[in-house]
């Protein structure tokens, strides 16, 4: 008999609709508990409500709690896979945090729902089934943390939420999903070229995220320079460019030993140091900014946070992004 660890953390997948007001809100008991009979009899599912939070309430410390529970499962218990149900707003951040900080011998899959369990067309139970089948598949091993939604399998590194309400919201721009779940069958057709793991035992650094816009100046950068910020990720324009008026603030942060990582605000493509004009990618790299090709701003923030928590962060910081 195979064993699955099922960790519930909250989110829409754990919510119901108030029939009087139409508001979607958490319920006293996780509604998915009543669907355990849907899975094969030769599967033992160990369920735990690790916490019960809407995903906008989830912090890096909550992510660390999930990581520690999974480390305990890896070290002390005999599981064949693990599934985490999670709200979709920050699911991709939790998935990537776990991807960077765990080296698991069994598959770990995150899933959620865009519609509560009592709403017509709810996707929660279907997503949970597909996530469990993916976690049970031998082919899911050594592929890092996976995200399963709407019958697609994505890597934690590249998946992102692309629509506010549509059930087909999770996509992997540029690269696409690495597999699908069809009629209980898990099929992979891509694999990550490399993986990376960094041990993290605490969260102590302060890393922020800004999005560039036309006419942006140094106001926000100057405000951050007056705080105890340790790192900053900028979703820059195009392939990784910024308006020239931002440069005084950026230089001030770099002089304060704040690590600055550049990504692109564009939906697809990668950030690169292409342009040599003032504020262009090559100029920013010459000043000391680091480029994160392929990562979204929120993923780059998670990675910068994890790297800065390492004892040898100064040595790692450039090579781990390049």
CB 109 within 8 Å of CB 148: yes
At residue 303 the predicted structure's pLDDT band, cuts being 50, 70 and 90, is: very high
Asked if 12 is an active-site residue, the reply is yes
Helix/strand/coil for 290: strand
Does the pLDDT value for residue 22 go beyond 60? no
> What is the per-residue pLDDT across 87-100, written as a single tens digit (0 to 9) for each?
999 999 999 999 99
Q: Which residue is catalytic, options 9, 12, 90, 160?
A: 12
pTM: 0.91
At residue 249 the predicted structure's pLDDT band, cuts being 50, 70 and 90, is: very high
Residue 88 tokens, joined? 């979709």
Does the pLDDT value for residue 24 go beyond 70? no
At residue 193 the predicted structure's pLDDT band, cuts being 50, 70 and 90, is: confident
Residue closest to 202 by CA, chosen among 67, 110, 58: 67
Per-position DSSP letters for 4-63, written without gaps between them: EEEEE--SGGGEEE-TTT--EEE-SS-GGGGGGGGS-TTEEEEEEE-----GGG--HHHH
> What is the per-residue pLDDT across 100-121, written as a single tens digit (0 to 9) for each?
999 999 999 999 999 887 777 7
Residue 14 pLDDT = 76
Burial 68-99 (b: 16+ CB within 10 A, else e): ebbbebbeeeebbbbbbbbbbbbbbbbbbbbb
**Straight-line distance from the first to the last Cα atom of the chain, in angstroms, rounded to the nearest whole number:** 43
Helix/strand/coil for 239: coil
Express as a percent the part of the chain with pLDDT over 90.
76
> What is the per-residue pLDDT across 27-51, written as a single tens digit (0 to 9) for each?
666 666 666 666 666 889 999 999 9
At residue 20 the predicted structure's pLDDT band, cuts being 50, 70 and 90, is: low
- What the chain holds in terms of domains, given with CATH numbers, is 2-188 (3.40.50.1170), 207-321 (3.40.50.40)
Residue 194 pLDDT = 78
Q: Please give the Cα distance from 91 to 81 (Å, whole number).
A: 18
């Amino acid at each position: 008999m195979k064993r699955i660890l099922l960790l519930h953390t909250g989110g829409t997948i754990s919510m119901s609709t108030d029939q009087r007001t139409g508001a979607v809100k958490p319920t006293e008991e996780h509604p998915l508990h009543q669907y355990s009979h849907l899975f094969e009899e030769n599967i033992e599912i160990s369920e735990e409500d690790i916490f019960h939070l809407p995903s906008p309430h989830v912090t890096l410390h909550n992510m660390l709690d999930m990581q520690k529970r999974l480390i305990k499962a890896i070290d002390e218990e005999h599981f064949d896979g693990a599934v985490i149900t999670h709200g979709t707003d920050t699911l991709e951040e939790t998935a990537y945090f776990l991807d960077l900080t765990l080296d698991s011998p069994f598959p770990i899959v995150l899933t959620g729902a865009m519609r509560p369990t009592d709403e017509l067309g709810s996707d929660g139970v279907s997503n949970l089934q597909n996530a469990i089948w993916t976690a049970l598949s031998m082919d899911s091993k050594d592929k890092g943390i996976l995200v399963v939604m709407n019958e697609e399998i994505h890597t934690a590194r590249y998946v992102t939420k692309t629509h506010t309400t549509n059930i087909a919201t999770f996509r992997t721009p540029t690269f696409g999903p690495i597999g699908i779940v069809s009629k209980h069958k898990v099929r992979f057709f891509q694999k990550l070229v490399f993986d990376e793991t960094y041990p993290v035992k605490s969260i102590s650094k302060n890393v922020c995220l800004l999005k560039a816009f036309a006419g942006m100046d140094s106001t926000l950068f100057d405000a951050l320079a007056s705080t105890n910020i340790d790192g900053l990720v900028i979703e820059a324009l195009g392939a990784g460019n910024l308006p020239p008026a931002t440069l005084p603030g950026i230089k001030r942060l770099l002089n304060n030993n704040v690590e600055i990582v550049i990504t692109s605000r564009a939906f697809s493509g990668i950030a690169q140091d292409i342009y040599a004009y003032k504020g262009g990618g090559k100029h920013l790299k010459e000043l000391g900014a680091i480029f994160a090709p392929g990562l979204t701003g929120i993923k780059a923030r998670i990675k910068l946070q994890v790297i800065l928590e390492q004892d040898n962060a100064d040595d790692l910081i450039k090579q781990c992004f390049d």
